[in-house]
Amino acid sequence: MAFFALLAGFLAAFGVDFAADAATTERVVVNRYSGLAIEGFDPVAYFTESLATQGLPDFEAAESGAVWRFRNEGNRASFVSHPEVYGPRFGGYDPVDVGRGVTYAGNPRIWLIVDRRLFLFGREDSRDAFAANPARFLKDADARWPALEEGLSQ
């Protein structure tokens, strides 16, 4: 027990940043070490700036078992009010892979907004295929997501 207290004190003394209220969940793509959803990228900025933009530690919110970061207070407030709008579909898993019955984490740098929803993709070729025919991929992904989500820990 003393070892863990000493380790925590050592890490705190050297400024190791632990995300506020970090949790472990698999239903949202989360870094298991930091607890940050979608690698700390601001989910609202995809909509407001049309860019994949890193959030800042000063603007965090806990939602769905993860810590989300934002560029500013306005983005944080928008997300807190409507996480179902700004959070990535399928928890940030690649919808092409979800349609195949596989949960493969999307990369926050490979993204697309379709029908006012954010989608993250594991590979550029997945994003390109999805962009060419979103309805085709969404049909399969929507059908398989409930069972996949049920198998992921909260």
Q: What is the mean pLDDT of the chain?
A: 87
Do the Cβ atoms of 110 and 124 come closer than 8 Å? yes
Cα 128 to Cα 124: distance, rounded to the nearest angstrom: 6
Round to whole Å and give the CA distance between 72 and 60. 9
pLDDT value, residue 154: 61
Contacts of 31 (CB under 8 A, 6+ apart): 39, 40
Please say if the pLDDT value at position 73 is more than 90. Answer: yes
Q: Can you give the pLDDT at residue 23?
A: 46
**Per-residue model confidence (pLDDT) at position 19:** 43
pTM, two decimal places: 0.82
Per-residue pLDDT for 25 more than 90?
Answer: no
Q: What is the pLDDT of residue 32?
A: 86
